[in-house]
């Protein structure tokens, strides 16, 4: 895990260029404290911060060269050993044991299609000295960031916007469409858009080429739309095999590995599987809790894993105190690059902090499973909508009864669920999100006509929902915070559920393998028979690293965030915003989420105006 930087420019002042690449590298030393390297190949300049995980030898430092190619790379190619062995059979020689060299020589051998073979997370740029071109790529789900700025003469890229702010192309002009999305929906970005008009994000699953002052972007991967014909046992078997293989690949490391543990099914499945399959010796887990009297304590669930795998791993608990959070808030906000859309990333920040204090450099996280396995409660609406759409009322009736039993739902709750399902049956995902964008929270922006449609994906209603979660509404934001929080503490965070083979498999499963007899994430639950404690395997609530931030902290040690500077928020409706804040201060929590977002946006603007 690292920080990458680079540019190609027509600026002939090589002293200025040399100074710029060094300042870009210095701006993200936290991403790679083990080594910093710069290569000046005028008109191309590469910089790299290295966090040494695979092949700790200096020969694996970057920028790395092979013949006419130079590379800077951030991430991990988990199947690098298999690719390396295949290339060796074809006569390719290697001088290091690093996955970076595997990328370089795969590119030399296979060309741009090399990325199709990678199982992993990555953002990288390869410079070809012969034709003066840059080939850049980002992994299928955007686990690793890649930001860029360009015009007809120059192209700059980096792992974080901090370094791009140093370039001549940067302007702090806000992208107000993204500001509105952040406030209304909590999204960290949209497609290639960021909070700044001049800074773009390379979309997941895309390659980029800059050659002859032309920028070309091509998609190299997409979600499957065909569904497999499998019975439950076959499907669960295939899932379990792939999940175990994903874990085997994700534990490849030359440094100690730890894992986050929230007590939910996702992180617990990773930890329990690692222990059951003896994939990690001396495993350390890291958990956050708050006041147990207010429902912010998952330790009772975590302790079921401790009892199941007694003396096989080391648990680490931490409870951040409010005054500590207030003291660290500036550092936390700075690490995030963009406004905090919720308070839960703060819990993750402290998870990474205590992991670093224990000397851990690699963390396995359960991020991503909910977004394509039917993990969110909204998944029920889409499943029911599909049956309504095709008049499969028998299936609908049975599943609603299962839902009622499992969740002990009242008639009023069932009516609400069925009403939302009915709306889902007649509305596209784009239409649903547009309604939420404009109506779920009070719209504070001075413009409402800036909705940009989601890409269409034709499948079942449930899969269309998952497609939107993976590409727009949930996963990009979660992965952004995962990256920033881990790298703020020089830790590599790995997400085994986002092995693209698992995602492709689940998108190919029939809906009933995602939600079955009222149970969400059915395939995962069944695959964890004999692995997870039953209390977690069949728990019905969903929490994760929850926090009391939006309500208690904003009325406590973070209350100063409510003192807004309306000269920075001139794009908001001042009257509505003042009324919103005043209402919250009087004790109304109805729009606490929006209040938090406004407060954090204002705080962020004080550093970025």
How many Cβ atoms sit within 10 Å of the Cβ of residue 405? 11
**CATH code of residue 285:** 3.40.50.620
- The two structure tokens encoding residue 208: 């980029």
Q: What is the pLDDT of residue 297?
A: 85
- The two structure tokens encoding residue 102: 């595997």
Burial of 136 (0-12, 13-18, 19+ CB in 10 A): buried
Q: How far apart are CA 57 and CA 97, in angstroms?
A: 9
584 and 561 inside one domain: yes
198 and 128 inside one domain: yes
Q: What is the pLDDT of residue 1?
A: 64
Instruction: Tell me the pLDDT band of 227, cut-offs 50, 70 and 90.
Output: confident
Say if residues 478 and 367 touch (Cβ distance below 8 Å): yes
Q: Is residue 226 in a domain?
A: no
116 and 142 inside one domain: yes
Domain, as residue range, for 559: 549-608
pLDDT digits 0-9 by tens, 138-170: 999 999 999 999 998 899 999 999 999 999 999
pLDDT-above-70 percentage for the chain? 98
Q: Is the pLDDT of residue 448 over 70?
A: no
Nearest to 72 by CA among 103, 94, 93: 103
β-pairing verdict for 206-211 and 492-494: unpaired
pLDDT digits 0-9 by tens, 252-267: 999 999 999 998 999 9
- The two structure tokens encoding residue 76: 């991990």
- The two structure tokens encoding residue 575: 């009257």
457 and 568 inside one domain: no
Q: Is the pLDDT of residue 545 over 60?
A: no
13 and 119 inside one domain: yes
Q: Give the contacts of 45 (CB within 8 A, at least 6 positions apart).
A: 6, 7, 8, 9, 17, 18, 20, 21, 38, 39
Decide which of 193, 219, 245 is a domain's last residue: 219
Q: Is the pLDDT of residue 548 over 90?
A: no
pLDDT digits 0-9 by tens, 298-338: 899 999 999 999 999 999 999 999 999 999 999 999 999 99
| Mean pLDDT within 208-222 | 96
Residue with tokens 């005028």: 42
pLDDT digits 0-9 by tens, 495-530: 999 999 999 999 999 999 999 999 999 999 999 999
How many Cβ atoms sit within 10 Å of the Cβ of residue 554? 23
437 and 315 inside one domain: no
Q: What is the pLDDT of residue 540?
A: 86
66 and 195 inside one domain: yes
In this prediction the pTM is 0.95
Mean pLDDT estimate for the chain: 94
Q: Is residue 36 in a domain?
A: yes
Q: Is residue 154 in a domain?
A: yes
Say if residues 46 and 69 touch (Cβ distance below 8 Å): no
310 and 447 inside one domain: no
Q: How far apart are CA 604 and CA 609, in angstroms?
A: 8
Q: How far apart are CA 510 and CA 232, in angstroms?
A: 10
Q: Is residue 21 in a domain?
A: yes
Burial 17-36 (b: 16+ CB within 10 A, else e): beebbbebbebbebbbeeeb
Q: Is residue 166 in a domain?
A: yes
482 and 596 inside one domain: no
| Mean pLDDT within 81-105 | 97
**CATH code of residue 94:** 3.60.20.10
Decide which of 449, 471, 493 is a domain's last residue: 471
Q: Is the pLDDT of residue 427 over 70?
A: yes
Q: Is the pLDDT of residue 291 over 80?
A: no
Our count of domains for the chain comes to: 4
pLDDT digits 0-9 by tens, 32-61: 999 999 999 999 999 999 999 988 888 899
Q: Is residue 227 in a domain?
A: no
Decide which of 486, 517, 537 is a domain's last residue: 537
Q: Is residue 543 in a domain?
A: no
Q: What is the pLDDT of residue 543?
A: 58
**DSSP single-letter state for residue 126:** E
Q: What is the pLDDT of residue 607?
A: 85
Q: What is the pLDDT of residue 228?
A: 84
Q: Is residue 360 in a domain?
A: yes
315 and 210 inside one domain: no
Q: Is the pLDDT of residue 296 over 80?
A: no
Q: Is the pLDDT of residue 578 over 70?
A: yes
Instruction: Tell me the pLDDT band of 357, cut-offs 50, 70 and 90.
Output: very high
464 and 481 inside one domain: no
Instruction: Tell me the pLDDT band of 294, cut-offs 50, 70 and 90.
Output: low
Q: What is the pLDDT of residue 21?
A: 98
pLDDT digits 0-9 by tens, 276-288: 999 998 899 999 9
159 and 275 inside one domain: no
Q: Which residues pair with 288 in a beta bridge?
A: 318
């Amino acid at each position: 895990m690292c920080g990458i930087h680079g540019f190609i420019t027509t600026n002939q002042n090589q002293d200025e260029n040399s100074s710029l690449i060094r300042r870009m590298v210095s701006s993200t030393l936290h991403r790679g404290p083990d080594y910093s390297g710069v290569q000046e190949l005028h008109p191309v300049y590469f910089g790299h911060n290295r966090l040494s995980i695979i092949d700790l030898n200096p020969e694996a430092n970057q920028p790395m060269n092979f013949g006419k190619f130079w590379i800077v790379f951030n991430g991990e190619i988990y199947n690098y050993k298999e690719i390396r062995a295949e290339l060796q059979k074809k006569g390719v020689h290697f001088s290091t044991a690093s996955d970076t060299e595997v990328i370089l020589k795969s590119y030399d051998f296979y060309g741009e299609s090399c990325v199709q073979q990678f199982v992993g997370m990555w953002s990288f740029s390869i410079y070809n000295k012969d034709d003066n071109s840059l080939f850049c790529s980002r992994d299928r789900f955007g686990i690793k960031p890649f930001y860029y700025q360009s015009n007809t003469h120059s192209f700059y890229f980096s792992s974080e916007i901090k370094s791009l702010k140093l370039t001549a192309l940067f302007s702090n002009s806000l992208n107000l469409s993204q500001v509105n999305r952040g406030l209304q929906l909590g999204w960290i970005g949209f497609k290639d858009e960021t909070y700044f008009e001049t800074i773009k994000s390379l979309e997941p699953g895309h390659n980029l080429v800059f050659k002859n002052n032309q920028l070309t972007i091509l998609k190299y991967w997409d979600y499957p739309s065909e569904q497999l014909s499998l019975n439950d046992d076959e499907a669960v078997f295939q899932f379990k095999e792939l999940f175990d293989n994903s874990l085997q690949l994700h534990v490849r490391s030359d440094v100690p590995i730890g894992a986050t543990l929230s007590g939910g099914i996702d992180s617990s499945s990773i930890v329990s599987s690692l222990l059951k399959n003896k994939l990690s010796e001396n495993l350390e887990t890291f958990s956050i809790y708050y006041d147990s009297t207010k429902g912010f304590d998952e330790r009772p669930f975590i302790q079921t894993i401790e009892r199941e795998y007694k003396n096989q791993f080391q648990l680490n608990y931490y409870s951040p105190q409010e005054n500590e959070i207030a003291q660290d808030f500036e550092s936390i906000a700075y690490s995030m690059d963009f406004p905090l859309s919720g308070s839960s990333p703060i819990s993750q920040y402290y998870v990474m902090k205590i992991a670093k204090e224990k000397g851990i450099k690699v963390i396995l996280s359960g991020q991503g499973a909910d977004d394509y396995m039917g993990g969110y409660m909204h998944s029920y609406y889409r499943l029911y909508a599909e049956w309504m759409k095709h008049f499969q009322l028998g299936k609908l009736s049975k599943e609603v009864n299962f839902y009622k039993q499992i969740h002990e739902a009242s008639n009023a709750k069932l009516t609400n669920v069925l009403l939302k399902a009915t709306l889902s049956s007649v509305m596209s995902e784009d239409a649903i999100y547009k309604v939420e964008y404009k109506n779920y929270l009070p719209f504070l922006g001075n413009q409402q006509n800036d909705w940009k449609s989601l890409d269409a994906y034709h499948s079942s209603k449930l899969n269309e929902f998952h497609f939107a979660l993976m590409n727009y509404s949930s996963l990009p934001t979660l992965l952004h915070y995962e990256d920033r929080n881990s790298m703020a503490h020089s830790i590599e965070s790995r997400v085994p559920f986002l092995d693209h083979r698992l995602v492709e498999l689940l998108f190919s499963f029939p809906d009933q393998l995602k939600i079955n007899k009222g149970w969400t994430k059915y395939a995962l639950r069944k695959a964890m028979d004999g692995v997870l404690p039953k209390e977690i395997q069949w728990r019905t609530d969903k929490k994760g690293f929850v926090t009391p931030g939006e309500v208690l902290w904003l009325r406590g040690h973070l209350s100063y965030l409510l003192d807004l500077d309306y000269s920075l928020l001139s794009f908001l409706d001042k009257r509505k915003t003042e009324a919103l804040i005043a209402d919250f201060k009087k004790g109304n929590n109805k729009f606490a989420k929006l209040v938090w977002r406004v407060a954090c946006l204002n705080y962020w603007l004080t550093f970025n105006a």
